[in-house]
Structure 1
Amino acid sequence: MPESEYPLVRGRNPNPDELALGWAAGADEETDRPVHQLKGVSQEHRATHFYVVGASGSGKTKFLETLAEQDIKNGSGFGIIDAHGDLTEDLKGYLYLLKKSEEDFLRERVILIDPTDPASTTCFNPLEKTEGITPAGIASELVEVFKKIWKDAWGARMEDLLKNTLIALIENDLTLSELPLFLADFNFRKFVLEKVEHPICRQYFERYNTLAPHTRNEWIESTLNKVNAFLSDDNVRQMFVSPKSTFNLRDVMDDQKILLVKLDRGHLKGNADLLGALLLAKLQMAAFSRTDIPPSKRVPFYLYIDEFQNFATESFAQTLAEARKYKLSLILAHQNLAQLLPSLRASILSNCGLQAYFRISRDDSNVLAKESLSSIYNDPPGWEWYIRQLQELPHRACVVKNKIEGGVIAISTLDLPAPHEAADMDEEEFRAEVAASEIGGSYLRPREDVETEYKMRRKELLRNAEAESFRERKVC
């Protein structure tokens, strides 16, 4: 549906209460001539979640970019979990172009998480306490993350070990970087458990400590291997060594800030999935903690998740069903239905009021045609035509289903120039200028400082544990 076929008629320009989606073919009300009309969706309908599916190269990532760029202009709070990195880089450019004139906006109101940054890092402690959620509740959510990422090695023993270990670490305001030490060092474990109040956790490790050394080693070997592999990348490990995160996800939501998470899978490999899943779990907890403020005071927060199937745990279906009441609106993108567990697929198709289908396979077309236009199912020629249309959609064209209003429209997504083109600059020069603006600078710390503090803190923890053990031996 190239725009050159018709004159462009803007009609009504979507206001801050409406998000422009793209151009749809229509007819002029006065002349009945074919025209292109700008189609939008209300912010109220966005609250029902937006599901976007399409093959690689079909234009769905650029579509997300056009939506997020409008969120920047409208002053909306949003987050991006970007599985590849290009989306984050472009949004940094748009932020720079749109907000560089606002004093301290880029440093104070944008949080940039980029584990590949060689000089600086955000600090993120997924074990940090969340208001209104018990340590056991936090541990349960995080165990779901590890269960998803480490499913090939998962078992009941690993689940019990991890859950009780996480409870102990959370109650002591510790981090994932102390997990291997807790499991392997008797004195440190005893020192930590002295401060644990959770009775089941204490009982678990009382039994654990009575095991023969070789049995304990068998119990912890798989868990230690997985955790150590995750922490072996220094850039990733340094994110997790500080007890206090440099950003507060609840504050990000309530204060309508912008969160950019760049998960460059080319550099991070499998660590990208675990990092993304941990952040998503904490975002879910932050949203659910909004029970302490009246519904009328909860401001919307839009969370874009590209390749979301890599990060969604078994509890994600519950999040889809309940997030709306906490004003967390999800925009979920991926490539095909085969990537989803049947239960998650059913939840998405049921709970996402807005759905956009870019070019998809024959199998996916059969499913999504029934979802979007079931009225022609009993018309074989019409049914076959619609399925073929879904398979042959051109680049950056999609079919949008609005379950709230009803109906389906075909659109061409908005044309958004690359940030450096909008700035009329060479791409490398523009990126250097964006980097100099220190986007997210208030939440970053030099890696050297983080590493120095970690080593000092670890020495102090070991010294305190040894001193406590010495006092007990002296008393005995």
Structure 2
Amino acid sequence: MGDETLLYELEPRIGSGPFSYKLFGPRFTLCTVNDGKELRLFLETASSLETLRAFFGVEKASLRDVMGIFGRELWVGDARVKREEDFFLSEVFVLDIAGLVNSLEFRGGICTGMSRDPELKKLFFRRASSLQNRASRYRSGELSIKAQEVRRRIPNVLLGKLLALAESKKGLMELERLLEASSSVPLRFVNKRVKDEEALGKALDPPNLGGFWGIIFGERNEIIWDEENFGEVIKLPDPSLHRISFVRGSPLPSLIPMRMGKGSFRIGKLEDGREFRLSVEDLYRHAYLIGQTGSGKTTFLKLLVHRIHEIGEASVIVIDPHGDMTVELKREIPHAKFFHPTRAPFSMNPLELPRAESRDHAITLATDILLKVFKEVLNLTDYAVNVKYMLQVILRTLYQEKEEPTMADLYHAILGLYEGTYVLDVKDIRWKQSVEALQRMREQTFISALSRLEAYANDPLLQKLTGKTSINIEEIMKPGSLSLFSLPKAELGENVTRLTASTIVMKLWFEALARARLQKKRTPVFLMIDEFQFVADLPIIETILSEARKYGLHLIVAHQHTKQIPDDLLQSILTNCGVKVAFVVGGEDLSKLGRMDASFAESLSKALTGLRVGKAVVKMTARAGEQQPPPAVVEIDGD
């Protein structure tokens, strides 16, 4: 390839509007290649990448990529017109190149190239003058007509290239036969076997006349295109007709803030090949990930865990309701603390009080949060008012009776109230009404509700899981610590997973507040929550999003679609999260996620429709003194 040209692989962009080959620049070679499965487009050009991205998905490519399609070698046929007269007088037109390549039953391709070589017009002008002189000398009307025809063609002549590529000599002969049958003028081919990238590069270089001596003495049987009709020759494959990958929607700008130095790390690359970096500081304002199953979301979460942990100045805590991601991370980072209900047992008592100025203050803090969690877990909507008040009284009583009551204690207290065996001396008419309402419940309704708590009293695993807390929360929040909580909902059930995940979040929040109250150093803690919907109803989530940064607690949350969380919470997330990452989504999510950047809402929605697995739209919030960067499409680094 020439020093000024680059090789790209292109994918047609659906909905990009009318395309003109002129955006490829004044010199280029475009190859349409059948790799045995689908068509692939390779372009050698000096044209601007930003210009190409308006009509294509663009990736930098190499000659090795092209060679790799064919194996260790390939055969190349360089087309020529058979008659010198056709060079000056005939228009070369080849019909339906994309369809021809699409129909191949072997690995092969066709390359069309052109150059606006200024010497070409001079060559044609000299030919026209020569013909006219001869016509005058010999008084030949035929030569005079030819001179006029050559002169007529001068404004529109393009120096051309037409190559046949095939994996074997037999395939090349077949492809050359098909090309000649499709050509408007007779062709011949100069064939050669290509065994290395250097030879392939020379073959693919855009055409040229070969300098002064080439112009004076060179062959007169190269390909000449007519500019008015060349657009039909170089027609691109149509994804609705041909087997070719494509991208959707409008491209987003690729203006990105620079993140270099300590605390920064690479997460992927832009379409133009430039790397895209984040910094730990960007994540201080929380991060939000959304994407369908299999879109690449988990790969990105793992990447963040590795990069943040490698920097070593923060604690990373992962809550994984599927369980698979944390198992993989433990295998990749053996020194990480791993917690699993059966493989690495731990206990986390939801009723354990947070550290506070006083026990009464701690009870007030915990009771308010626990009531809202239990309302979700118990699902007692018909009796919500009575249940809330009754639980409030029971919890306060249990905290007075025991240093650390458990879920089993709560179950037995409610059951005792229902059966009349547990009597609380509460001199409050409202309490009496609540107990009477509880006892008037139909037995089936009560059993249905209480069964959600019964497992905590009778199931040995859940008794252990929600018994006396075995984890030192302060310890796992120390810098450099990595803690992996594997909470597989398939084993625990959704309610237990929700309660356990909620307990971890609450305890971390209370500990973050305690650090501030006790004037301890607020080293950063990154709490990463997959399947975020399991804790999205926690009332402290909104508080954490808006206030936790000053306490050193930073959320990185991920889930699959926007219907899993309330719309007001989604708005809060899009407002408060400094890094927003959207993988493949669909339906209403496309319009909702346009809120990530109102200035690019339409382009955002279009870009989201065209994402492939492993690619995401990333929106970062500017730091002080920076201009707000637009969203960018990033190919996320793999494992």
Q: TM-score when scaled to structure 2?
A: 0.53
Higher strand share: 2
- Secondary structure of the residue that 1:80 maps to in structure 2? strand
Q: Count the aligned residue pairs.
A: 371
Structure having greater relative contact order (Cα 8 Å, sep ≥ 6): 1
Q: Is residue 346 of structure 2 the alignment partner of residue 122 of structure 1? A: yes
**Which residue pairs with 1:364 in the alignment?**
589
Checking the alignment, whether the CA contact within 8 Å between 2:390 and 2:434 is kept in structure 1 is no
Q: Is residue 448 of structure 2 the alignment partner of residue 225 of structure 1? A: no
Per-residue deviation at 1:223? Answer: 4.8
Q: Is residue 364 of structure 2 the alignment partner of residue 136 of structure 1? A: yes
- Secondary structure of the residue that 1:123 maps to in structure 2? coil
Return the alpha-carbon distance in structure 2 between the equivalents of residues 202 and 260 of structure 1: 46
Q: Is residue 386 of structure 2 the alignment partner of residue 163 of structure 1? A: no
- Secondary structure of the residue that 1:225 maps to in structure 2? helix
For residues 164-313 of structure 1, the aligned pairs below 5 Å read 164-171=393-400, 172-173=402-403, 174-185=405-416, 189=422, 203=428, 207=432, 214-215=439-440, 221=447, 223-242=449-468, 245-254=469-478, 256-270=480-494, 271-294=496-519, 297-313=521-537
2:634 maps to which of 411, 416, 420: 411
Return the alpha-carbon distance in structure 2 between the equivalents of residues 386 and 239 of structure 1: 44
Checking the alignment, whether the CA contact within 8 Å between 2:319 and 2:484 is kept in structure 1 is yes
**Which residue pairs with 1:330 in the alignment?**
555
Checking the alignment, whether the CA contact within 8 Å between 2:285 and 2:554 is kept in structure 1 is yes
Letter in 2 for 1:261: F
The CA deviation string for residues 250-308 of structure 1, in whole angstroms up to 9 with x for no partner, is: 3322455322111112222222222222222222222222222448x200000100011
Letter in 2 for 1:5: A
**Which residue pairs with 2:309 in the alignment?**
72
**Which residue pairs with 2:609 in the alignment?**
391
Q: Structure 1 residues 188 and 321, CA, compared in 2 at 3 Å: closer, same or farther?
A: farther
The CA deviation string for residues 326-385 of structure 1, in whole angstroms up to 9 with x for no partner, is: 11110010111111112211111111111001111142122222423x3245xxxxx3x6
Per-residue deviation at 1:221? Answer: 5.0
Q: Structure 1 residues 156 and 250, CA, compared in 2 at 3 Å: closer, same or farther?
A: farther
**Which residue pairs with 1:441 in the alignment?**
none
Per-residue deviation at 1:145? Answer: 1.2
Per-residue deviation at 1:121? Answer: 1.9
Per-residue deviation at 1:45? Answer: 1.8
Per-residue deviation at 1:215? Answer: 4.2
Return the alpha-carbon distance in structure 2 between the equivalents of residues 259 and 188 of structure 1: 43
Letter in 1 for 2:408: S
Provide structure 2 residue ranges, at least 5 long, that are not aligned to the other structure: 1-56, 64-257
Q: Structure 1 residues 176 and 314, CA, compared in 2 at 3 Å: closer, same or farther?
A: closer
Letter in 2 for 1:340: I
- Secondary structure of the residue that 2:274 maps to in structure 1? strand
**Which residue pairs with 2:264 in the alignment?**
18
Checking the alignment, whether the CA contact within 8 Å between 2:349 and 2:503 is kept in structure 1 is no
Task: Supply the RMSD in Å over aligned alpha carbons.
Answer: 3.1
Q: Structure 1 residues 64 and 15, CA, compared in 2 at 3 Å: closer, same or farther?
A: farther
Higher helix share: 1
Quote the sequence identity (%).
26
Checking the alignment, whether the CA contact within 8 Å between 1:181 and 1:188 is kept in structure 2 is no
Q: Structure 1 residues 214 and 392, CA, compared in 2 at 3 Å: closer, same or farther?
A: same
The CA deviation string for residues 28-58 of structure 1, in whole angstroms up to 9 with x for no partner, is: xxxxxxxx23222222221100000111110
Checking the alignment, whether the CA contact within 8 Å between 2:339 and 2:346 is kept in structure 1 is yes
Letter in 1 for 2:568: S
Provide structure 1 residue ranges, at least 5 long, that are not aligned to the other structure: 27-35, 100-105, 195-200, 378-382, 417-476
Checking the alignment, whether the CA contact within 8 Å between 1:13 and 1:38 is kept in structure 2 is no
Checking the alignment, whether the CA contact within 8 Å between 1:80 and 1:305 is kept in structure 2 is yes
1:343 maps to which of 546, 568, 575: 568
The CA deviation string for residues 409-467 of structure 1, in whole angstroms up to 9 with x for no partner, is: 22111121xxxxxxxxxxxxxxxxxxxxxxxxxxxxxxxxxxxxxxxxxxxxxxxxxxx
